[in-house]
Amino acid sequence: MESFRTEIENPIVQKEIIDLEKKIHAFQGGLIDDERFRSLRLARGIYGQRQDGVQMIRIKLPYGKVSSEQLRRITEVSDKYSTGRLHITTRQDIQIHYVSLDRTPELWADLAKDDITLREACGNTVRNITASELSGVDAEEPFDVSPYAHALFQYLLRNPICQEMGRKFKISFSSSDKDTALSYLHDLGFIPKIVDGQKGFKIMLGGGLGSQPAHAELLSEFVPVNQIIPTAEGVIRVFDRYGERAKRLKARLKFLIKDIGRDEFLRLVDEEKKALPFQSYEVDTTAFEGAITEPLLKVPSVTIDDAAAYEAWKASNVIAQKQAGYAAIGVKVLLGDFYTDKARLLADLIKNYGANELRFSLRQNIVIRNIKEENLPFFYQELAKLDMVALGYDTIGDITACPGTDTCNLGIASSTGIADELERVLKAEYPQFASNKEITIKISGCMNACGQHNMSEIGFQGMSINSGKLVAPALQVLLGGGILGNGSGRFSDKVIKIPSRRGPDALRFILDDFEANANGARFLDYYDSKGEKYFYEFLKPLADVTNLTDEDFVDWGNADNYVKAVGVGECAGVVIDLVATLLLEAKDKITAAQELFAEQKWSDAIYLAYAGYANGAKALLLADKQKTNTHAGIIESFDTVFVATNKIELNTTFRELVYQINKNEPTEAFAKQYIQDAISFFEKLEAYRAADLAKA
């Protein structure tokens, strides 16, 4: 594999890929346990599938932006290592499936040739930073949020503060008060504002979906643009230190804020200010400014044969940009799945005749931007050849669904199968809803809400239902969620659980009643006026399990009888229990801190030394059967169990030793002293552990 290594221009990426290759060999040789290896590969975008022996690869695409060169590279990688299918996620990533673990280092190296990364696409990290797909061209935006999303992505990538947190951390940037990037359900959500001529952001804090959705709280109505990176770093540092690590279901930021309160959380963030490497961080926006790129080739003039079809497409799928004379084209992608043959042709189209950019959307679609209005007929013609002019972009018929039981370990019932059927029902039976953008339908295969089912007007969640000794696939029907704008939203009510095969009838019942009784009201107003019980009552007949047929025991998109098979989830929480592994990690982190110190990266070196302290202390506490739920708890417990009892002698308390990190500025002198203290501390840990093992 030496050949692919030498082709990587970025030495940091080359080192990461070589390290991944070594870790794979160590795992296969039994030198790294399965739990620890899972954590390592997830942080590198490699996710175990439902099917044995193959991996899902998540390709991290900040705010969904892709050039033609990058799209072509992704197609080549998919054809070489996967099946040729590309899946757009609700976080603007691309996923490919059925990849051999052994081939992942080479795959990553191929992607790196066009500056594409897998780093921190999964695992307990800051995940892909999302943004409204129209940012930069949105007629309603105060300013383009793209450069700020990009700067925060670059700042946090490989940053020691967010490599091994208790759980994942999600960030979004909306382009306007419409809040299309859903700030209210993110750990950090940014909404652009201009106050007294100054650019800044309203920031929402601690939102999330999952089995217990939580609405984000207000962090600040206005934070100047040069403060968003220090603010984000302070929040992440506090989450890393105080966030739950042992109880996976309580390990998100929303639970920490609920436990200690918003004001206390923000007080802790304020305490971190002195430790931050930047008190102010200016974002360079020049790469996102300037004239729109002209097409490489002259765009041919064309004659549209079916003018009515063309006008319908323009009305449904074309969006006027804020730049006069330009438009964005929305491409509806069924369930976010498209294939490399068409993707390559699309890449050529935007490179030769467009502005060499597209963005993947939060609703699993494609947006082609910066197309001159006079060139729309040509693009319609070319997209029609690719079967990419289906009407209904961002409408009720544009259903969002996670992969569900197709590939995900946690899937309980099919989400893609029912989504296919619901789209068919809408198209065949409800043409009057074809242009409805007010109602969204979202589907998840389990409670984790990757399909965002519990924030939509109509949602379905995959479940199972018992009928005697048999088990059938089921759907929880949820109603009444939606975006309210400017950082506000609402979550859906769980109305009733029905067999999956009756999902289409549930949709029919809901839409028929809406048409008959809404009297022109918006769906959410109609829902509120009727109340949850009203919907439960008219859907109740669908929940009867005494009359199930053989068909009810076969899930949508399947031929065989349903079998409930839920594997081990890999979305985030991995708890590392082996003492020896933790001590080795602690030593590695201190060594890495020394390397970064030599590179004059004082802040990063200090944080890695801090992680070495925490991991080393955790190892001894675990050996003593003590709780290690949070870094802050580890620090307190270590003082009680080891320092106060003189089992390990320090010149001060462990708390005072470690918390020098937020009492000092990240200078060269402090970094040098803090790392040396960490080395001395670790030597004492090793001596104590050796003596303890000798007694056993």
pLDDT of residue 7: 58
Which CATH fold would you assign to the domain 293-385?
Sulfite Reductase Hemoprotein; domain 2 (3.90.480)
Give percent of the chain with pLDDT exceeding 70.
Answer: 96
List 152's β-bridge partners, or say none.
Answer: none
Of residues 49 and 484, more confidently modeled: 484
The Cα angle at residue 238 between residues 232 and 244, in degrees rounded to 5: 125
Which CATH fold would you assign to the domain 579-695?
Four Helix Bundle (Hemerythrin (Met), subunit A) (1.20.120)
pLDDT of residue 544: 93
pLDDT of residue 577: 39
- The pLDDT confidence band at residue 12, using thresholds 50, 70 and 90, is confident
pLDDT of residue 575: 35
Q: What 3-state class would DSSP assign to 595? A: helix
Domain 2-112: CATH architecture, name and number where available: Alpha-Beta Complex (3.90)
Domain 404-553, CATH = 3.30.413.10
* Cα 441 to Cα 399: distance, rounded to the nearest angstrom: 5
Intrachain domains 293-385 and 404-553 with the same fold: no
> Could you tell me if 564 and 471 are in contact, meaning their C-beta atoms sit under 8 angstroms apart?
yes
Query: Which tens digit of pLDDT belongs to each residue from 290-334?
Result: 999 999 999 999 999 999 999 999 999 999 999 999 999 999 999
User: Does position 567 have pLDDT exceeding 60, yes or no?
Assistant: no
503-517 and 523-530 helices, crossing angle to 10°: 90
* Cα 446 to Cα 402: distance, rounded to the nearest angstrom: 9
Mean pLDDT score, 61-77? 98
Q: Cα 225 vs. chain centroid, distance in angstroms?
A: 23
pLDDT of residue 49: 84
> Could you tell me if 562 and 471 are in contact, meaning their C-beta atoms sit under 8 angstroms apart?
yes
* Cα 529 to Cα 546: distance, rounded to the nearest angstrom: 32
Mean pLDDT score, 497-526? 96
User: Does position 647 have pLDDT exceeding 70, yes or no?
Assistant: yes
Of residues 351 and 552, more confidently modeled: 351
Which CATH fold would you assign to the domain 130-287?
Sulfite Reductase Hemoprotein; domain 1 (3.30.413)
Contacts of range 254-259, beta carbons closer than 8 Å, 24 or more positions apart? 254/187, 254/206, 254/207, 254/208, 254/212, 254/214, 256/206, 257/205, 257/206, 257/217, 258/214
Of residues 572 and 516, more confidently modeled: 516
Query: Which tens digit of pLDDT belongs to each residue from 335-347?
Result: 999 999 999 999 9
User: Does position 603 have pLDDT exceeding 80, yes or no?
Assistant: yes
Please name the residues in contact with 263: beta carbons below 8 A apart, sequence gap of 6 or more. none
What are the percentages of helix, strand and coil residues in the chain, rounded to 5?
Answer: 45, 15, 35
- The pLDDT confidence band at residue 5, using thresholds 50, 70 and 90, is low
- The pLDDT confidence band at residue 210, using thresholds 50, 70 and 90, is confident
User: Does position 572 have pLDDT exceeding 50, yes or no?
Assistant: no
Query: Which tens digit of pLDDT belongs to each residue from 678-692?
Result: 999 999 999 998 998
Mean pLDDT of the chain: 92
pLDDT of residue 8: 61
Q: What does the domain layout of the chain look like in residue ranges? A: 2-112, 130-287, 293-385, 404-553, 579-695
The Cα angle at residue 468 between residues 463 and 473, in degrees rounded to 5: 20
The Cα angle at residue 582 between residues 580 and 584, in degrees rounded to 5: 70
Mean pLDDT score, 131-158? 98
pLDDT of residue 574: 37
Mean pLDDT score, 628-638? 96
Q: Distance of CA 402 to CAs 336, 397, 446, 448, 587, Å?
A: 9, 16, 9, 10, 39
